[in-house]
Amino acid sequence: VRAAAAERSGEHSLRLTLTEGKYHQVKRMLAAVGNRVLTLHRSRFGPLVIPAGLPAGGWCWVDAADWP
């Protein structure tokens, strides 16, 4: 599995787009090139955009209209 897109979003930040992934995939990819992951945030799950204010471990209702 490889990143579909990657961009630097800050001095110490990276934005990756994966089309599929396994457990700890991002951590393994960055470790392979000598980097480490301090924090990780999932912003989308397939077509669903995860609400920005949703806390870690939180959940929200998904309506059929939210799923294309």
Q: For residue 22, tell me if it sits in a domain.
A: yes
Q: For residue 63, tell me if it sits in a domain.
A: no
Cβ proximity of 33 and 59 under 8 Å:
no
Q: How many domains does the chain have?
A: 1
44 confidence band (pLDDT: 50, 70, 90): confident
Q: For residue 29, tell me if it sits in a domain.
A: yes
Q: For residue 57, tell me if it sits in a domain.
A: no
The more confidently predicted of residues 12 and 21 is 12
Q: For residue 12, tell me if it sits in a domain.
A: yes
Q: For residue 61, tell me if it sits in a domain.
A: no
Q: For residue 67, tell me if it sits in a domain.
A: no
- Global pTM value: 0.62
Angle at 43 between CA 4 and CA 25, to 5 degrees: 50
Q: For residue 68, tell me if it sits in a domain.
A: no
The per-residue pLDDT for range 5-15, each reduced to its tens digit, is 889 988 888 88
Q: Buried b / exposed e across 6-27, counting CB within 10 Å, b at 16+?
A: eeeeeeeeeebebeeeeeeebe
User: Which structural domain, as residue segments, surrounds residue 46?
Assistant: 5-51
